[in-house]
Amino acid sequence: MREKFRNLQSCFSFFSKKLVDAPEVNSRGSAQKELIFCNFEITDPADININIAERKFSKNYALAEWLWYVSGDPDVKNIGKLASLWTRICDDKNQVESNYGFYLRPQWNWVKNELVNDSDTRRATFVINQPYHKIKNNLDYPCTQYLQFFIRDNKLHLGVSMRSNDLVFGLCNDVFTFCLFQQLMLNELKDAGLEIELGSYFHHAGSLHVYSRHYGMIEEISAKEYPPPELKLYLNENFTLNNCLNLPSADMEKKELLNYVSHAEKVLFND
């Protein structure tokens, strides 16, 4: 069964409630509540902000992470200043396996051309998780398996398959990220002459889970109703993967990074 939501916030709220009573597992030494093989659809991939106080979702950090993905640079020297997770899981070269842009960039034009040349194609796929990840960096085994675009009814739809998703951090930032890549691909297809609109975002998670440290959070969230976010993020149609802003590779201080992301937000999105 596929759940359907108008935005990321309602999706997050729904699964917070579902996970409160979910079975508990102990994976990799930590207790988690888990749902397996979850599927959902978000009908507006521009409605990806979350205004739930308990979650403390940082749109600025989510945007910084996306800009880092756009760069395709697996080095964590800058993104690690904004989220310590990346420095905890990097290898001895200060790199991680989960910069998704590292895999999307080499495949981007091929996928775009497939969609341009055949709007009914079923080949518009990106592969992320690779066989070599099983032996490369045990601390960072990419959660994303693959992405697939479809054009149906003159709308561009994106589906993403995840082997594993932490509800609180992973799912929220991943959906934010992939919805922006969906808009970026839409820009390029329209620039190539296709008369299409933004479709739905589809998500599959083999394991959707919440860690024990967040049990209290989801219990609080499940007991409340929240007004929808007022802000939507419509990517400026002039941006493509090649000319889009991205997180700089040069080493920057944290304050510089935050200022850069704030500036990028003003440039990237339509009011």
Q: How confident is the model at residue 258 (pLDDT cuts 50, 70, 90)?
A: very high
pLDDT digits (tens, 9 = 90+) for 97-116: 999 999 999 999 999 999 99
Distances (CA, A) of 114 to 180, 184, 190, 224, 256: 20, 16, 14, 45, 39
Three-class secondary structure of residue 222 per DSSP: helix
Dist. CA 270–CA 259, nearest whole Å: 19
pLDDT at 157: 98
Q: Which two tokens stand for residue 2?
A: 């596929």
| Angle, vertex CA 46, rays to CA 102 and CA 177, nearest 5 | 20
Q: Where are the beta strands (DSSP E) in the chain?
A: 2-5, 24-27, 30-42, 125-127, 144-152, 155-162, 165-166, 197-211
Among residues of the chain, what percentage have pLDDT more than 70? 100
Q: Which domain holds residue 253?
A: 2-268
- Is residue 182 pLDDT above 80, yes or no? yes
Whole-number Å distance between alpha carbons of 237 and 223: 39
- Categorize the per-residue pLDDT at 268 as very low, low, confident or very high, splitting at 50, 70 and 90: very high
Task: Report the domain count for the chain.
Answer: 1
The values of phi and psi at residue 29, to 5°, are: 85, 10
CB atoms closer than 10 angstroms to residue 187: 18
**Segment 123-181, tens digit of pLDDT:** 999 999 999 999 999 999 999 999 999 999 999 999 999 999 999 999 999 999 999 99
Q: Give me the mean pLDDT over the 65-76 stretch.
A: 98
94 contacts: CB under 8 Å, gap ≥ 6: 75, 76, 77
* pLDDT at res. 28: 84
Q: Does pLDDT of 271 surpass 80?
A: no
Residue 159 tokens, joined: 């589906």
CATH number, residue 209? 3.30.572.10
Q: What integer pLDDT is reported at residue 67 of this predicted model?
A: 98
